Amino acid sequence: MGSVWWLLLCIPVLSPAFAGGVIRVYYLGIHEVNWNYAPTGRNVLANQSIAQTLLCIMMTHSAYPFEFNSQASAFLQSGKDRVGSTYKKSVYKQYTDSTYTTEIPKTRLLGFLGPVIRAEVGDTLKNELLELGSPKEKEEESSAINGYVFGNLPDVKMCAGDSVSWYLFGMGNEIDIHTAYFHGETLKIRGHRTDVASLFPATFVTAYDPQETLGDGC
Ligand SMILES: *[C@@H]1O[C@H](CO)[C@@H](O)[C@H](O)[C@H]1NC(C)=O
């Protein structure tokens, strides 16, 4: 079964001015958590329960019933030999200092990714890593964005007029050829204006979005 995850992240564009070679230390702890890929319990896109969605997938893809049904249900359904939508995952958490007592919260949008490590040209990054539990994982993943499926990614909010960068990458294997489509909005990728980003496995692009049309002005 293919496994894939994308990063869909927008943050304000960093200032191009150099900070003069600062040393930035990040304290990161690796934790084992129970990660729920569908925390609402629903297919938010279709406004359906996960069970209804699985039935639709099975009926719609009757030409490949085994492949589609087994992928979706093996991944999300609960049962005597199924763990449902919650899986053990190792995630990184960021702490204020080497005592690893005060966590720096991150946006829910990042899902099981992050924290975001920021630096400017000329800086030195020091990452101090502490392992706080190692999982014995059942590896069975499906397509997800930042660890969310079926529209469970929290809403991405931005203001009209903001300049934002989207860092997009795809992971997986030869069957994971995905596109990120920005409905009604165009982005600049490698000098081209486009509304679709191709995300072949292990590719990374930065897309700039001048936010001319989206957002509420805040
Ligand atoms: C979603 O479905 C529920 C019933 O299952 C309904 O009450 C609600 O109005 C629906 N929401 C939308 C946005 O269609």
**What is the domain extent for residue 206?**
157-218
Residue in this structure with the two tokens 């995850």, named with its chain if needed: 5
pLDDT of residue 134: 62
pLDDT of residue 24: 96
CATH code where residue 172 lies: 2.60.40.420
Rg of the chain's alpha carbons, rounded to an integer? 19
| CA 47 to centroid of ligand 1, rounded, Å | 6
| CA 40 to centroid of ligand 1, rounded, Å | 14
Residue 217 lies in a domain: yes
Assess contact for 33 and 172: CB atoms under 8 A.
no
Whether the predicted model's global pTM rises above the 0.85 cut: no
pLDDT of residue 48: 87
> What's the maximum distance between 2 C-alpha atoms anywhere in the chain?
60
Low-confidence stretches of the chain (pLDDT beneath 50): 1-7, 10-13, 65-66, 68-70
Residue 104 lies in a domain: no
pLDDT of residue 215: 53
Residue 213 lies in a domain: yes
d(CA 188, CA 210): 9
For residues 143, 146, 150 and 154, what is the CA-based torsion angle, rounded to 10 degrees? Answer: -170
Residue 105 lies in a domain: no
Residue 165 lies in a domain: yes
| CA 111 to centroid of ligand 1, rounded, Å | 25
pLDDT of residue 71: 53
Handedness of CA 192, 194, 197, 198 (dihedral sign): negative
| CA 175 to centroid of ligand 1, rounded, Å | 34
Per-residue pLDDT of 160-185, as tens digits, reads 778 888 999 998 888 888 888 888 88
| CA 46 to centroid of ligand 1, rounded, Å | 10
Residue in this structure with the two tokens 């997009």, named with its chain if needed: 168
| CA 49 to centroid of ligand 1, rounded, Å | 11
pLDDT of residue 2: 39
Provide the 3-class DSSP secondary structure of residue 87: strand
d(CA 10, CA 168): 9
The one-character DSSP state at 76 is H
d(CA 141, CA 119): 32
pLDDT of residue 82: 56
| CA 85 to centroid of ligand 1, rounded, Å | 22
Residue 216 lies in a domain: yes
Residues 6+ apart with CB under 8 A from 95: 27, 28, 29, 101, 102, 103, 104
Residue 205 lies in a domain: yes
pLDDT of residue 93: 95
Residue 7 lies in a domain: no
When divided into structural domains, the chain yields a total of 1
| CA 127 to centroid of ligand 1, rounded, Å | 46
Phi-psi category of residue 133: left, alpha or beta, with phi > 0 → left and psi -120 to 50 → alpha:
left
| CA 2 to centroid of ligand 1, rounded, Å | 32
Please report, in angstroms and rounded to a whole number, the separation of the first and last CA atoms in the chain. Answer: 43
Burial of 18 (0-12, 13-18, 19+ CB in 10 A): exposed
| CA 34 to centroid of ligand 1, rounded, Å | 28
| CA 97 to centroid of ligand 1, rounded, Å | 45
pLDDT of residue 6: 47
Token digits of residue 159: 């203001």
| CA 20 to centroid of ligand 1, rounded, Å | 53
Residue in this structure with the two tokens 């359906």, named with its chain if needed: 48
